[in-house]
Amino acid sequence: MPSRPPRPRLEDVAARAQVSTASVSLVLRGRPGPSAATREAVLEAARDLGYRADRTASLLARRRTQLLGVTMDVRSTFHAELLEDLQAAADERGYDIVVSPLTRTRDERRAVESLLDFRCEALLLLGPRLPDAELAALAEEHHVVAIGRRARAAGVDVVRAADDVGVGLAVEHLAGLGHRDITFVDGPRGPIATVRRQGYRRAMKRLGLADSSLVVDGGGDEESGARAATALVARAPRPSTGRVLPPPPGREATRGRPRMPSAVVAFNDRAALGLLDRLRRDGVDVPGEISVVGYDDSPIARLATVDLTSVSQIPEAMATAAVEAATQRLDDGRTEPVELVLEPQLVVRGTTARRESP
Amino acid sequence: MPSRPPRPRLEDVAARAQVSTASVSLVLRGRPGPSAATREAVLEAARDLGYRADRTASLLARRRTQLLGVTMDVRSTFHAELLEDLQAAADERGYDIVVSPLTRTRDERRAVESLLDFRCEALLLLGPRLPDAELAALAEEHHVVAIGRRARAAGVDVVRAADDVGVGLAVEHLAGLGHRDITFVDGPRGPIATVRRQGYRRAMKRLGLADSSLVVDGGGDEESGARAATALVARAPRPSTGRVLPPPPGREATRGRPRMPSAVVAFNDRAALGLLDRLRRDGVDVPGEISVVGYDDSPIARLATVDLTSVSQIPEAMATAAVEAATQRLDDGRTEPVELVLEPQLVVRGTTARRESP
DNA sequence: TCGTAGTCTTAAAGCGCTTTAAACACATTG
DNA sequence: CAATGTGTTTAAAGCGCTTTAAGACTACGA
């Protein structure tokens, strides 16, 4: 019920402090110039009046907005985490963040438009799905930082985790626990899944396990994980006590053979969750009979009831790096694009264990 | 890499169209006045130049911002859903939305400050935790709509679902399936849990089940749900086949007696999820041995692997109502606060079934 | 012919702030 | 004492748009 006592303007503060608006402006923004006496008078007047600068006017007057625009998928907990850290990082550097959520009816293009309307000085795109060409086009007109995704687009800064390395960590961890039959549950088509799959393949080869490497169809959500689980379980007829067959020699000749792996790396935590759920319902003991590793180290993975071993993309680091990239362009005049690739971390929890029978 | 071809201004469009900036402004905002010829010329010029109005300047000039500020918990999927619908509703009425996320380091107060800096014309607070007094104080200076929570604060519009009715629906559904021992797993301290608990108690009484009504400690997340499950299971020593005892006569004398209810209503979906998980791990058949109902009808509940019967707060309706409330104040000059209470809906899925032995 | 209404158009005054360039006061210096 | 410098203050010109009030036409009836 805003009953108009129109908010005080800079001019009002100036009048009360008996100085010019210029002085007030300088003092309030902590710029050098005004004497101690003036400063005090102004601050007091401002306090008395409960003055708060009008951002709109201020933005218009100086050419800067000090605004970073972020597009995100509101439904993604990973994005939510990143956002928290972006806020913090931006804060520290004196920037403010405008969030533009993607929804069913609001695609990435619209979200970006909206950010531009706000005159954001840089765009931070979380896991952007825009084609590289479009990203590149955007980057001709604006500063853009793609986060969490590899991008082959000219002029775009990229901050991402080395997903192939991350999956490698998971595979090595499992191998270290004595597992040899390690299966990868693939993600949805796209650059991210490609890189993770590659990481898996390479790690298996590096460890001399190429022969038992196997990629099964999956996806990015619980459903897909559950489907994958069903496919895996079908390989080892249960609940008969039939022992798992040792992998026969010969390269990937194992494909299609009925056999349940002793360990699985899933594309992400959500898929891992669906997988876990289905396995447990089918009476499979995790990690007794099969070890499971997820990806993202999402809050759900950390829940005591889930306790999922997972790979963390260290969102704080990504957030800091992304904001840093943006401010470097804005404040330090960097113009050459950079690509920052961070090392992910394995977080070992309760869904992985030493292989039962060697 | 913004290489400055400074963006065209209104003036540039005016020059190209050979008219005044006033005409351009009018045309571009679709206001009456300019003739068809002028309109066309302006639109063409604007198109040629790729003109986009500078919102900052425009906001400064007219006194309105057409901005609705929304505070939300980024981690809540329910809030995420609401946000989607708010966006859509705001769009329809020509308003834009500024999202101000709550994070660990950014409480509700700061989030609101930030919205005010953006000169939002109304504040839509999702599940605000601010004390009523503070809400009331805010409402003296601004239009505020509290969403999803009962608020006894002067001047604040409230849009919420009738949670007591919702829980009542769940209880009735279960009773209809023959259940009598229906337990409520409580939520975290706060107005929301209070209302839901009340709804439970009243429904049980209404159905003549007051004697078997039981509220156990819970909380708002998976952990708490799991804990509650443990407590429940402990009442019926498993895996012995011992039949569940019929409730002895006498009011709530059952409290503390070892006995597992045949049905449970959880404070929300997350708690229900933890509950389900623990129950299943303990070998309890859902819905065979026990039926479970959640609250919120969150996306997780809908997953095939979860398939949780739940109560929906119909977020679309809440969102529409909230935006409506705001625009009524802004555009239609309403000044008396309103409280809109929506009827929740029960969504029956796979976690509830007819009671096994009557 | 003039007055009057009606339709378009536009000059110009802001919106509340930042910033530049000039003015001022005073102290040094040669 | 003029010239030069230093530190502080401010008048005024925008920032890019909206809006108001007045102006320019045209058309019409008296």
Provide φ and ψ at B185, rounded to 5°.
Answer: -95, 115
CB atoms within 10 A of CB A16: 18
Q: Structurally, how many domains does chain A consist of?
A: 3
Question: Is residue A113 located within the same domain as residue A83?
Answer: yes
Question: Is residue B53 located within the same domain as residue B112?
Answer: no
pLDDT of residue B78: 87
pLDDT of residue A236: 59
Question: Is residue A148 located within the same domain as residue A173?
Answer: no
Question: Is residue A135 located within the same domain as residue A173?
Answer: no
pLDDT of residue B302: 85
CB crowding B25-58: b at 16 or more within 10 Å, else e: bbbbeeeeebeeebbebbbebbeebebebbbbeb
Looking up residue B304, the CATH number of its domain turns out to be 3.40.50.2300
User: Does a structural domain hold residue B355?
Assistant: no
The domain in which residue B42 lies consists of 10-61
Residue nearest to nucleotide D14 (CA to C1'): A61
Coil/strand/helix, residue B9: coil
CB pairs under 8 A between A and B: 133
Quick check: A285 contacting B, CB < 8 Å? Answer: no
A50 C-beta less than 7 Å away from strand C: no
Q: Is the pTM of this model over 0.85?
A: no
CB atoms within 10 A of CB B313: 26
CB contact under 8 A, A280 and B281: yes
A293 C-beta less than 7 Å away from strand C: no
- Residues 222-251 in A contacting B (C-alpha not used; CB under 8 Å): 222-223, 226
User: Does a structural domain hold residue B2?
Assistant: no
User: Does a structural domain hold residue B192?
Assistant: yes
pLDDT of residue A269: 93
- Chain B: nearest CA to A265, how far in angstroms? 20
* CB-neighbour burial class of residue B303 (10 A; exposed 0-12, middle 13-18, buried 19+): buried
Q: What is the pLDDT of residues A154-169, one digit of tens each?
A: 999 999 999 999 999 9
Provide φ and ψ at A341, rounded to 5°.
Answer: -115, 115
pLDDT of residue B191: 81
Question: Is residue A51 located within the same domain as residue A134?
Answer: no
Q: Who contacts A296 (Cβ-Cβ below 8 Å, separation ≥6)?
A: A78, A268, A269, A310, A311, A312, A313
Looking at A38, A61, A84, which one is the last position of a domain?
A: A61
- Is residue A171 scored above 50 in pLDDT? yes
pLDDT of residue A221: 86
Question: Is residue B203 located within the same domain as residue B248?
Answer: yes
User: Does a structural domain hold residue A353?
Assistant: no
And the tokens for B244?
Answer: 């569940």
Q: Cα B193 from chain centroid? A: 14
B21 C-beta less than 7 Å away from strand D: yes
Quick check: A58 contacting B, CB < 8 Å? Answer: no
pLDDT of residue A225: 93
Residues of B in contact with A118 (CB under 8 A): 55
pLDDT of residue A77: 83
Looking up residue A48, the CATH number of its domain turns out to be 1.10.260.40
Question: Is residue B101 located within the same domain as residue B151?
Answer: yes
User: Does a structural domain hold residue A351?
Assistant: no
pLDDT of residue A238: 44
Question: Is residue A118 located within the same domain as residue A188?
Answer: no
User: Does a structural domain hold residue B357?
Assistant: no
Q: Which of B99, B139, B305 sits opposite A101 (nearest CB)?
A: B99
- Do the strands B143-147 and B157-161 form a parallel or antiparallel pair, or are they unpaired? parallel
pLDDT of residue B118: 84
Quick check: A87 contacting B, CB < 8 Å? Answer: yes
pLDDT of residue B244: 43
CB contact under 8 A, B56 and A119: yes
Distance, CA of B167 to CA of B194 (rounded, Å): 12
Q: What is the pLDDT of residues B63-97, one digit of tens each?
A: 888 889 999 998 888 899 999 999 999 988 889 89
Q: Is B352 left (phi over 0), alpha (psi -120 to 50) or beta?
A: beta
Question: Is residue A143 located within the same domain as residue A194?
Answer: no
CB atoms within 10 A of CB A230: 13
Given a contact cutoff of 8 angstroms between Cβ atoms, the answer to whether A126 and A323 are in contact is no
User: If we measure between CA atoms, which residue out of A117, A76, B97 comes closest to residue A109?
Assistant: A117
For every one of its 358 residues, what pLDDT tens digit does chain B have, with 9 covering 90 and above? 444 556 899 999 999 999 999 999 999 998 888 889 999 999 999 999 989 898 889 988 988 888 899 999 988 888 999 999 999 999 888 898 999 999 888 899 999 988 988 889 999 999 998 999 999 999 998 999 999 888 889 999 999 999 999 999 999 999 999 999 999 999 998 888 999 999 999 999 999 999 999 999 999 888 899 999 999 887 755 444 434 444 444 434 444 445 789 999 999 999 999 999 889 878 889 899 999 999 999 888 887 778 899 999 999 999 999 999 999 998 888 889 999 999 999 999 999 999 976 4
- Residues 316-345 in A contacting B (C-alpha not used; CB under 8 Å): 335, 337
Distance, CA of A2 to CA of A28 (rounded, Å): 26
Question: Is residue B172 located within the same domain as residue B207?
Answer: yes
**Mean pLDDT value of segment A326-340:** 91
CB contact under 8 A, B56 and A143: no
Q: Is A161 left (phi over 0), alpha (psi -120 to 50) or beta?
A: beta
Token pair 């470097």 in the structure block, residue: A328
And the tokens for B267?
Answer: 């404070």
pLDDT of residue A253: 39
33-92 on A, CB < 7 Å from strand D: 33-35, 37-38, 57, 60-61, 63
**Helices in B50-182 by DSSP H: which ranges?**
55-61, 77-92, 108-117, 132-141, 163-176
Q: What is the pLDDT of residues A103-151, one digit of tens each?
A: 888 899 999 988 988 889 999 999 898 999 999 999 998 999 999 888 8
- Look over chain B and give the mean of its residue pLDDT values, rounded to a whole number: 88
16-45 on A, CB < 7 Å from strand C: 21-22, 25-26, 28-29, 31
Question: Is residue A184 located within the same domain as residue A217?
Answer: yes
Distance, CA of A302 to CA of A308 (rounded, Å): 7
Task: Indicate the pLDDT class of residue A258, thresholds 50, 70 and 90.
Answer: low
B53 C-beta less than 7 Å away from strand D: yes
CB crowding A238-258: b at 16 or more within 10 Å, else e: eeeeeebeebeeeeeebeeee
% residues pLDDT > 90 (chain A): 61
Torsion over CA of B84, B88, B93 and B95, rounded to 10 degrees? 50
Task: Indicate the pLDDT class of residue A357, thresholds 50, 70 and 90.
Answer: low
User: If we measure between CA atoms, which residue out of A52, A18, A12, A15 comes closest to residue A37?
Assistant: A18
pLDDT of residue A131: 92
Task: Indicate the pLDDT class of residue A64, thresholds 50, 70 and 90.
Answer: confident
Give the residue on B whose Cα is nearest the Cα of A5: B141
Q: Which of A84, A143, A222 sits opposite B303 (nearest CB)?
A: A222
Question: Is residue B288 located within the same domain as residue B238?
Answer: yes
- Is residue A285 scored above 50 in pLDDT? yes
Indicate if the alpha-carbon torsion angle B300, B304, B308, B314 is positive or negative: positive
User: Does a structural domain hold residue B219?
Assistant: yes
pLDDT of residue B258: 54
User: Does a structural domain hold residue A354?
Assistant: no
* CB-neighbour burial class of residue A172 (10 A; exposed 0-12, middle 13-18, buried 19+): middle
Give the residue on A whose Cα is nearest the Cα of B53: A117
pLDDT of residue A302: 85
pLDDT of residue B164: 95
pLDDT of residue A143: 94
Distance, CA of A273 to CA of A293 (rounded, Å): 10
Q: What is the DSSP letter of B243?
A: P
